[in-house]
Amino acid sequence: MRRKFIAGNWKMNKTPSEAVTLAAELLPLVKNDEEDVVFCVPAIDIVPVVAAVKGSNVKVGAQNMYFEDKGAYTGEISPLMLKDAGVDYVIIGHSERRQYFGESDEMLNKKILKAFEHGLTPIICCGETLEQREEGITLEWIKGQITAAFQNVSADLAKASVVAYEPIWAIGTGKVATSEQAQEVCGYIRKCICELYDEATADEIRILYGGSVTAASAPELFAMPDIDGGLVGGASLKPDFGGIVNYK
Ligand code: PEP
């Protein structure tokens, strides 16, 4: 039985002091020992939020990292820095990173391998545009993204990773995918993992849905057989996140 995984993506919101206030507000609402609960916060908020959630059930994630340990990469954050600061997870390949910062599948694969090297668990994002969905090439596109992401990743590491299916047309739009649409793609991702590795790996890997999830839509989405939780943007900044975590 896979443990549910609910991550909030705070995106570029909250100053360090605001982040501490939000973490304190959310902590009592997101208590749940049966799920993994993660706050993926802006880089500058990591240190104070790690301190704020200490002793709770919440882990901290980063929203991005670079694929080198250190060096002349002005403005970048290394996996060593994240690990030392107390981070456990890192979102890799969010569609906003792909779209606004030109991150390619090849670069994302390097980041995924580097995250594993330093004991960080990547939350690997994939998803299609509305045009791709309308053209009927969603599954083909997702297969390409998944295959590229898991290049040279061992089965043991793949098992421990988290994939987030986030249709771009549903992110921040209020237009949530139906549970059938989300299940179709999440089930297909599991099939791709089975083809790339084996059934045991496909059974263990956690696959999330992301895109305008709210406390109202979470129960139906998370009841689907291949949806193991959610990556939540807008609603993760509000008390609604508590309702998403405790959706049952
Ligand atoms: C996201 O950015 O990962 C996301 C799913 O955002 P939202 O929930 O706001 O659509």
Domain segments of the chain as ranges = 4-245
Q: Residue 137: its pLDDT value, please?
A: 98
The closest residue, in CA terms, to atom 1 on ligand 1 is 233
Find the 41 Cα to ligand 1 centroid distance in Å.
13
Report the distance separating Cα 126 and Cα 238, nearest Å: 25
Per the CB < 8 A criterion, the answer to whether 165 and 182 are in contact is yes
Q: What does the pLDDT look like over 118-159, one tens digit per residue?
A: 999 999 999 999 999 999 999 999 999 999 999 999 999 999
Report the distance separating Cα 98 and Cα 111, nearest Å: 13
With CA atoms as reference, report the closest residue to 185 among 173, 204, 200, 170: 170
Is the model's pTM score more than 0.75?
A: yes
Residues (pLDDT < 70) of the chain are: none
Our mutation pick for probing the ligand 1 site, out of 5, 6, 11, 241, counting the most ligand atoms within 8 A of Cβ, is 11
Positions marked active-site: 94, 166
Report the distance separating Cα 116 and Cα 134, nearest Å: 35
In sequence order, what are the beta bridge partners of 40? 9, 61
Q: Which atom of ligand 1 is nearest the CA belonging to 91? A: 3
Q: Residue 95: its pLDDT value, please?
A: 97
The closest residue, in CA terms, to atom 7 on ligand 1 is 233
Q: Which atom of ligand 1 is nearest the CA belonging to 174? A: 10
Report the distance separating Cα 162 and Cα 5, nearest Å: 9
Q: Residue 168: its pLDDT value, please?
A: 97
Q: Which atom of ligand 1 is nearest the CA belonging to 173? A: 10
Q: Residue 51: its pLDDT value, please?
A: 98
Q: Where are the alpha helices (DSSP H) in 136-214?
A: 138-149, 155-160, 179-196, 199-204
DSSP state of 79: H
Cα 37–chain centre separation: 11
Query: Token pair for residue 170?
Result: 């549903």
Read off the amino acid at residue 14: K
Report the distance separating Cα 160 and Cα 124, nearest Å: 12
| Long-range interactions of 223-228: CB distance < 8 A, separation 24+ | 223/179, 224/179, 224/182, 224/183, 224/186, 225/183, 225/187, 226/183, 226/186, 226/187, 226/189, 226/190, 227/179, 227/182, 227/183, 227/186, 228/2, 228/3, 228/4, 228/5
Report the distance separating Cα 123 and Cα 62, nearest Å: 10
- Non-local CB neighbours of 141 within 8 Å, separated by 6+ positions: 128, 132
Find the 72 Cα to ligand 1 centroid distance in Å.
32
Query: Token pair for residue 107?
Result: 């670069």
Cα 29–chain centre separation: 20
Q: Which CATH class for the 4-245 domain?
A: alpha beta
Phi and psi angles of residue 122, each rounded to the nearest 5 degrees, phi first: -80, 140
Report the distance separating Cα 13 and Cα 71, nearest Å: 28
Q: Residue 28: its pLDDT value, please?
A: 98
Three-class DSSP category at 174? coil
In sequence order, what are the beta bridge partners of 7? 38, 231
Our mutation pick for probing the ligand 1 site, out of 95, 209, 212, counting the most ligand atoms within 8 A of Cβ, is 212
> What are the pocket residues of ligand 1 if the criterion is a CB atom closer than 6 Å to any ligand atom?
9, 166, 171-172, 210-213, 231-235
Q: Residue 6: its pLDDT value, please?
A: 98
Q: Residue 1: its pLDDT value, please?
A: 84
Find the 105 Cα to ligand 1 centroid distance in Å.
20
